[in-house]
Amino acid sequence: MSAVSSLSAPAEVSPDFSTFIENFRARLRHVFRRRADADEVSTTRGLEPFMMREVQRSSPLSVFIPEEYGGRGGHVRKCQAVLEAASYESLSLSLTLGINGALFLQPVSKYGREAVKQDIFDRFIEEKHMGGLMITEPDYGTDALNMQTSYAQRKDGRYTVSGTKHWAGLTGWADFWLVTARQEREGGSLGRDIDFFILDQDDPEQCVDVEERFHNLGLYAIPYGRNRVDATVPETHKLEPESMGITMMLDTLHRSRTEFPGMGMGFLRRIMDEAMAHCKDRLVGNTPLFERDQVKKRLSRIQAYFTTCSAMCAYASEHASTDNNLSTSTVSSNSVKAVVTDVMHDAAQSFLQLSGAQGYRLDHLAGRATVDSRPFQIFEGSNDVLYEQISQAVLKDMKKSNENNLYDYLSEYELTSRAAERFQGSLDFEVDDQMPQRKLVDLGRAIGRVVSMDLVIELGDRGFREDLISGSLKVLKQDAEAILDTYQQKGMAGVVEDYMEDSSWLSFV
């Protein structure tokens, strides 16, 4: 740990949001750049105790808590702004806040019982407690609906919940867990629906046991591991779905996916600032890197991603409220999550390329950004699967409306109508609803980019900088067209399973 700065962080937590967020940014800057040694922060696991304590002095999680329980009201615009401020300094910190907010506080606000909410929210605000969500199991990740964690209601009304969960962010740190499980039926089989239970780690009967800690590749500040759950909880700890538990899970996951841009926003802004500064500073052959055309291409893409993410933050602010049911918002939520995480990782890769060898140091922001952003393409729905789901949802709707031509459909569809107009022939083809999975994924990647363009057009209409908007639209359109080009190509490479025979080049020279 390096020297402690003489500059003090602002202490007050202002009720006025603009003052609060400004102070929060200053506090984060102070904690991550002055008090902590940036090199140490990026290469050691966990966070120094003073760091989380300092961050929590601003009570950032109160933005996710409704006003009637003492929070800042749960307005998504404010939640996005907090996530953005955090990810400018640390993607891990932003994900930590995002887990607490979107995967614990929002579902508890919406589906938690009155009997438990006030106490839980008080503990978040006053005692700075934290919470996370356990869905994934060692044998059931993408296939989460077949999870084996089970629950049963006892005669006294309490529930027993048991199973093994892994990769839950904040393993061993969280004070509360939301644990998903299927009901055990007579004879031992499990029901199809999924329910959520709140486990309070201060209660020995509800405590989960950390069996193993993982050495995660990136996101060093967040602990992961494998947990054994054998808990007994009061009836009031079961979330109350409006209809099916699966619908509640989809609503929760779609809301969280829609809110990913908050975490992407500060991350992309930081990469943009650092990459621009580096390219202006670094002379190669006596010329600043910034003067080279290929470098400009990379920087312009990073700016395009920044603008796309801005448009998504604006969209999330107006669509991801807990008042809305997002369980059917497959196309918009999956597009936002998959595209923003793709561009976050691509921006990090470009920043690393532009940084040269120094970017490959473990303590350099570019290398860290590359490994830290990678799992965003995997968790909360693997992007390959999310893109396939986008296509399936669109194809289903096309079939319902008796439409075969993609352009005709997208030019009428509310999420794509304005963007579709900007494509000449490339969307104008009939889709085959029997296409192989890889084509569904390609089509979904293209549709995700058309949806993103529509959000950018909307942000432009509201007065966002015109040059950034037009750069972003160019990049998204080029990417969508390149993907559609691949989609149209015939001939699919197969996998040769038994490839050993006649496959050593050395025998042919």
Residues that bind ligand FAD (CB under 6 A): 99, 132-136, 141-142, 167-169, 219, 375, 378-380, 382, 384-385
Quick one: DSSP state of residue 4?
Answer: P
Q: Shortest gap between Cβ of 371 and ligand FAD (angstroms)?
A: 10
Residue nearest to ligand FAD (CB): 141
Q: Which is nearer to ligand FAD, 136 or 322 (CB)?
A: 136
84 touches 127 (CB < 8 A): no
Distance CA 25, CA 55 (A): 10
Give the separation between CA 266 and CA 91, rounded to whole angstroms: 8
- Kindly tell me which of 168 and 354 has the beta carbon lying closer to ligand FAD: 168
Nearer to ligand FAD, 151 or 167 (CB): 167
Q: Return the number of the residue (73 or 172) whose C-beta is nearest ligand FAD.
A: 172
135/394 with CB nearer ligand FAD:
135
Least Å from the CB of residue 394 to ligand FAD = 17
Give one DSSP letter per residue of 23-64, joined into a string: HHHHHHHIIIIIIS-HHHHHHSSS--HHHHHHHHHT-GGGGG
- Tell the smallest beta-carbon distance from residue 388 to ligand FAD (Å): 7
Q: Which of these, 130, 136, 132, lies nearest to 148 by C-alpha position?
A: 136
Between residues 132 and 234, which has the closer beta carbon with respect to ligand FAD? 132
Least distance in angstroms from the C-beta of 503 to ligand FAD = 25
For the bound state, the minimum distance from the C-beta of residue 384 to ligand FAD, rounded and expressed in Å, comes to: 4
Measured from the CB atom, the residue of 308 and 373 that comes closer to ligand FAD is 373
C-beta of 30 vs 439, nearer to ligand FAD: 439
Q: How far is CA 325 from CA 253, 391, 396, in A?
A: 11, 21, 20
User: Cβ of residue 470: shortest distance to ligand FAD, in angstroms?
Assistant: 34
DSSP symbol at 105: I
CA 326 to each of CA 101, 158, 382, 395, 454: distance values in angstroms, whole numbers, following the listed order: 16, 30, 19, 20, 19
Q: Report yes or no: 358 and 337 within 8 Å, Cβ to Cβ.
A: no
Q: Which of 170, 34, 29 is nearest to 86 (CA)?
A: 29
Closest contact distance (angstroms) between CB of 219 and ligand FAD is 6
How crowded is residue 274: how many other Cβ atoms within 10 Å of its Cβ? 18
Terminal CA-CA length for the chain: 57
CB of 227 to ligand FAD, least distance (A): 10
Least distance from ligand FAD to the Cβ atom of residue 4, Å: 31
CB-based contact 123:59 (threshold 8 Å): no
In angstroms, what is the minimal distance from the CB of 413 to ligand FAD? Answer: 25
The residue length of the chain stands at 509
Q: How far is the CB of 330 from ligand FAD (least distance, A)?
A: 15
Q: Is 168 helix (H, G, I), strand (E, B) or coil?
A: coil
For residue 176, give both structure tokens.
Answer: 């509360």
Residue closer to ligand FAD (CB basis): 219 or 484:
219
Q: Tell me how far, at minimum, the Cβ of 168 lies from ligand FAD, in Å.
A: 4
> 310 or 341: whose CB is closer to ligand FAD?
341
| Cα–Cα distance for residue pair 138/320, rounded to 1 Å | 30
Q: What are the residues facing 153 on neighbouring strands? A: 159
- CA–CA distance, 359 with 487 (Å, rounded to integer): 34
Measured CA to CA, the distance from residue 209 to residue 214 in angstroms comes to 14
Q: Which is nearer to ligand FAD, 59 or 149 (CB)?
A: 149
Find all residues with CB under 8 Å of 507, minimum gap 6, and list them.
none
Cα–Cα distance measured from residue 89 to residue 115, given in angstroms and rounded to the nearest whole number: 37
258 Cβ neighbours under 8 A, 6+ residues apart: 315, 316, 319, 320, 326, 329, 332, 333, 336, 337
Distance CA 273, CA 439 (A): 36
Complex with ligand FAD: residue 119 or 212, whichever CB lies closer: 212
